[in-house]
Amino acid sequence: MSAMFSHCTPITSDKATSLSSSFYGHNLRRSAQLPGKFFSTISVSSPASSPAFRSRIACQISSSSAATSPPSSSVNVQAKSGQKDFLHINDFDKATILKILDQAAEIKALLKSGDRTFLPFKGKTMAMIFAKPSMRTRVSFETGFSLLGGHAIYLGPDDIQMGKREETRDVARVLSCYNDIIMARVFAHQDILDLAKYATVPVVNGLTDFNHPCQIMADALTIIEHIGHLEGTKVVYVGDGNNIVHSWLLLASVIPFHFVCACPKGFEPDEQTAEKARKAGISKIEITNDPKEAVRGADVVYSDVWASMGQKEEAAFRRQVFKGFQVDENLMKLAGPKAYFMHCLPAERGVEVTDEVIEAPNSIVFPQAENRMHAQNAIMLHLFGL
Instruction: Report CA torsion sign: 96, 92, 88, 160.
Output: positive
Give 161's pLDDT tier (boundaries 50, 70, 90). Answer: confident
Q: What is the pLDDT of residue 8?
A: 60
Q: What is the pLDDT of residue 310?
A: 65
Specify the range with the lowest mean pLDDT, choosing from 45-59, 144-158, 336-350. Answer: 45-59
235 in Cβ contact with 299 (< 8 Å): yes
For the chain, what's the residue count? Answer: 386
Specify the range with the lowest mean pLDDT, choosing from 27-41, 198-212, 303-317. Answer: 27-41
Q: What is the pLDDT of residue 273?
A: 98
Q: What is the pLDDT of residue 314?
A: 85
pLDDT over threshold 60, residue 9: no
Does this model's pTM top 0.85? My answer is no
Specify the range with the lowest mean pLDDT, choosing from 63-72, 94-103, 182-191, 371-380. Answer: 63-72
The angle, 0 to 180 degrees and rounded to 10, between the axes of the packed helices 213-227 and 365-384 is 120
Which of 4-13, 79-88, 342-351 has maximum average pLDDT?
342-351
Give 162's pLDDT tier (boundaries 50, 70, 90). Answer: confident
> Average pLDDT, stretch 359-364?
98
Task: Find the catalytic residue in 214, 261, 263, 344.
Answer: 344
pLDDT over threshold 50, residue 227: yes
Ramachandran class of 141: left when φ > 0, alpha when ψ lies in -120 to 50, beta otherwise: alpha
- Is residue 261 annotated as part of the catalytic site, yes or no? no
pLDDT over threshold 60, residue 382: yes
> Average pLDDT, stretch 215-244?
98
Specify the range with the lowest mean pLDDT, choosing from 79-83, 87-91, 169-173, 368-372. Answer: 79-83
Q: What is the pLDDT of residue 335?
A: 98
Question: Which of 332, 334, 335, 336 has the alpha carbon at shortest distance from 359?
Answer: 332
pLDDT over threshold 50, residue 66: no
Instruction: Report CA torsion sign: 364, 370, 373, 375.
Output: negative
Specify the range with the lowest mean pLDDT, choosing from 67-71, 128-132, 252-256, 370-374. Answer: 67-71
The overall average pLDDT reported for the chain is: 84
Q: How far apart are CA 358 and CA 365, in angstroms?
A: 7
Q: What is the pLDDT of residue 313?
A: 76
